[in-house]
């Protein structure tokens, strides 16, 4: 009977690396975030990691990097899946070099894409998620104009999706200037937890999708799970 079927086992199949969904958190940890905002933000990042971990595919596919800006710009977490990153301790300090942070993050992203391509790894459109409670202190530098240019080009070429989220006190006008292609979202209160749950669940849907699928995102400004206004 064995001869009359198509019998294969798992070891006959190709072992391709998992597809990846790169995600960069671009977090404002400047002095004004001191106190409750930074505490809530930090908790939100932990929730994000836990949500990703709870999903079979997302835990293997979503790769998170964290870039902070407060006084200086720092890559405090290079790309890693949820299993291999621990939510960092965030300490509020200094001014808000937002433009420089954006440039750093987008370069990090391009490097990662090159690594994927070299290794034959397929990937989904990257996400960049900027969270701030203020405005750039480097708006008069070339960093700021470079950042705007990189985002404009990147959004137009679908090289990534760039979300700006303003916490109470954020200069929303500046954020909409930074990314004119996608309206900035205003965080309701300190709903970082809901925000990161949304991000995780959106990325879970995307990381399951097959060629030709359109993945509708849930509206972050509506319903009980809403966490923002525009």
The encoded tokens of residue 53 equal 């971990």
Instruction: Select the residue interacting with another protein from 75, 123, 177, 182 (CB under 8 A).
Output: 123
135 in Cβ contact with 31 (< 8 Å): no
Report the residue number, 157 or 223, with the smaller CB distance to another protein: 157
Please report, for residues 22, 102, 180, the alpha-carbon distance to residue 150 in angstroms, rounded to integers and kept in the order given: 17, 9, 12
Tokens 């990257």: give the residue.
126
CA separation for the pair 138, 135 (Å, rounded):
9
Is 29 an interacting residue with respect to another protein (CB under 8 A)? no
Rounded least distance, CB 214 to another protein, Å: 4
Is 89 an interacting residue with respect to another protein (CB under 8 A)? no
94 in Cβ contact with 77 (< 8 Å): no
Contact region with another protein (CB under 8 A), list: 24-32, 72-80, 92-100, 115-123: 115-123
CA separation for the pair 173, 96 (Å, rounded):
16
Residues 127-186 that bind another protein (CB under 8 A): 158
Instruction: Select the residue interacting with another protein from 7, 36, 89, 156 (CB under 8 A).
Output: 7
Is 215 an interacting residue with respect to another protein (CB under 8 A)? yes
Contact residues toward another protein (CB under 8 A) are 3-17, 19, 119-125, 158, 206, 208-215
């Amino acid at each position: 009977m064995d001869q009359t079927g198509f019998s294969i086992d798992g070891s006959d199949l190709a072992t391709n690396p998992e597809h990846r969904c790169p995600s960069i958190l671009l977090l404002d940890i400047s002095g004004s975030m001191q106190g409750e905002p930074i505490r809530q933000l930090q908790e939100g990042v932990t929730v994000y990691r836990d949500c990703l971990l709870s999903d079979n595919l997302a835990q293997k596919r979503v790769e998170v990097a964290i870039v902070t800006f407060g006084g200086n710009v720092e890559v405090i977490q290079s790309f890693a899946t949820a299993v291999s990153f621990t939510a960092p301790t965030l300490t509020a300090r200094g001014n808000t070099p937002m433009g420089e942070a954006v440039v750093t993050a987008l370069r990090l992203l391009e490097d990662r894409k090159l690594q994927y391509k070299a290794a034959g790894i397929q990937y989904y459109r990257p996400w960049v998620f900027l969270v701030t409670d203020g405005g750039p202190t480097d708006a008069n530098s070339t960093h700021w104009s470079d950042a705007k240019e990189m985002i404009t080009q990147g959004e137009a070429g679908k090289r990534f999706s760039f979300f700006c989220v303003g916490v109470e006190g954020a200069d929303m006008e500046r954020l909409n200037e930074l990314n004119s292609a996608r309206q900035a979202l205003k965080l309701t209160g300190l709903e970082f937890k809901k925000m990161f749950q949304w991000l995780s669940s959106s990325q879970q849907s995307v990381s399951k999708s097959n060629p030709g699928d359109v993945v509708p995102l849930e509206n972050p400004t509506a319903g009980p799970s809403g966490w923002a206004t525009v």
